[in-house]
Structure 1
């Protein structure tokens, strides 16, 4: 776990999943009376996979667990604890291609109106919501933002992404106004509640750095206040950012750069468009779609 955290710069979210996956694997080894990591062979792996599928786990979860164990054995191999990696030739299951879930503009408008901007927490929540939607950054990138990462002079934030890859992401006037209000008022009041200083951008009610779990709880409460019957999480705002950008005419390469995707194929999952958008394009473009044209 230290190797993942320090050398691979894995997010707390990834660390938690990998630790759970390794616990599941060790439980399986105990059940099968396998006491030495060097003794695992293809037959054992097939039994392990069968157990996973019997638990009705999704392909995505199984794929993640296999990736975890492949990385785990790669580490053991590097440390000369095992002679080879039995997971290296195990193919990952093909993932179902799902269209990413996103929010419609009307839903977003309701969310943007629920925070009480006269309170420190309301200002923080508004700044958080505006920034996530304005930039499409990951939750792990957001919780690790520092005050100095914001450059108001050119309207950008400095983001450290997966694998310590750095990028600059622009933000607009709505996010700027929300951030300025939070930094000059709400954040200062929240910091008064603790004697420990921090330069992290987002802090909790006790003035301590906000966690990714805290972020999810904030979004859940905003949805509840807005009386929306939707499931929202930080990554959904990332999906929404990408979808809205592409629907408004942004090119794929630009969105790839803004999201910090290494491969264009990762960004291509966002090339779906809403039915309303398709209909509008059709009605405005087809010569015989509208009699009034």
Structure 2
């Protein structure tokens, strides 16, 4: 089957992304967004070349997705006979503004790349802005809830003990779950209580740091792990293979349900950042620990402390409470 110009440029762009060593997750996001957008262009507007794409096409696509809802736009109609999207409980439900902004961002990256490559003079994304979103306050997990969560893991079994240590480590370091599950034992520096992360978002190595409490837990766990599996992976399955993010997320979610807590790995990362700031940490250091591209990204992500948390932080730093009057 003949490849259209749009399809050619998508493949070329994805090859460019691979050569830049972007993460597979980022590349997959680009591919999905672009193929869905171009499927819409062909079906609704008979657009087959990049120079035919107008600003209005992008605006209309955003409105189209908002009106149609989740899983109603597909790249190939035949996929419906395999995935049966209409059977999903959230079929046709409203697509979140965050998801739509991700689509817009990915489309903008692609057309900006085309312009840099000299394939476009007039860029259709120049006047495209992201839609306004209402920022939802991140829900924290207090120490009592955290302890109840830990109690749901059966420490006498390998997978239960492993999951407990994963939860503790993310809460103590703020690393991403994908980074956590890729850690090898050789990455640890117990002298300085730090871990070298090599498989990170953006493929930029960085160190994260752990407490003396975590050091004790890790040393005990390593002895336990070595009795069951022979692998350099820190958090393998009982068969010594890599534990997937999806598998751990489900196990964590099930543990949370048992004690009435909705929890996912990224929430633990957020919880680390929140507690770090409340305990007097600064945004610059936190940004480096989390592996953000800039301090601005960190500030935007964690400026939503509750009034009660701000009040508590204030009392710890009030000038008059520190002066002798």
CA distance in 1, matches of 2:32, 2:59: 20
- For 2:203, which of 148, 153, 164 is the aligned residue? 164
- 1:137 CA drift (Å): 0.9
CA distance in 2, matches of 1:73, 1:138: 30
- CA contact under 8 A between 2:183 and 2:233: conserved in structure 1? yes
- For 2:298, which of 267, 276, 279 is the aligned residue? 267
2:159 is the counterpart of 1:124: no
1:68 match: secondary structure = helix
Q: Normalising to structure 2: TM-score of the pair?
A: 0.74
- CA contact under 8 A between 2:172 and 2:210: conserved in structure 1? yes
Greater shift after overlay, 276-285 or 173-182? 276-285
CA distance in 2, matches of 1:281, 1:60: 30
CA distance in 1, matches of 2:239, 2:315: 53
Q: Which has the higher contact order (CA 8 A, sep 6+)?
A: 1
1:189 match: secondary structure = coil
Q: Using a 3 Å threshold, how does the CA distance of structure 1 residues 265 and 100 change in structure 2: closer, same or farther? A: farther
Superposed, 1:196-211 pairs within 5 Å as 199-211=232-244
- For 2:261, which of 227, 230, 245 is the aligned residue? 230
Q: Show the counterpart of 1:182.
A: 221
Q: Normalising to structure 1: TM-score of the pair?
A: 0.81
- CA contact under 8 A between 1:126 and 1:178: conserved in structure 2? no
CA distance in 1, matches of 2:302, 2:65: 29
2:224 match: secondary structure = helix
CA distance in 1, matches of 2:313, 2:232: 46
Report how many aligned residue pairs link the two structures: 277
CA distance in 1, matches of 2:18, 2:162: 28
CA distance in 1, matches of 2:197, 2:128: 34
Greater shift after overlay, 141-150 or 127-136? 141-150
- 1:284 CA drift (Å): 8.5
Superposed, 1:1-293 pairs within 5 Å as 1-12=14-25, 14-32=26-44, 33-54=46-67, 55=69, 56-77=94-115, 85-160=123-198, 161-186=200-225, 189-191=228-230, 199-224=232-257, 227-268=258-299, 269-278=301-310, 280=312
CA distance in 2, matches of 1:266, 1:29: 33
Gapped regions of structure 1 (runs ≥ 5)? 192-197, 287-293
RMSD of aligned alpha carbons:
2.8
Q: Show the counterpart of 2:3.
A: none
- CA contact under 8 A between 1:123 and 1:186: conserved in structure 2? no
CA distance in 2, matches of 1:138, 1:251: 20
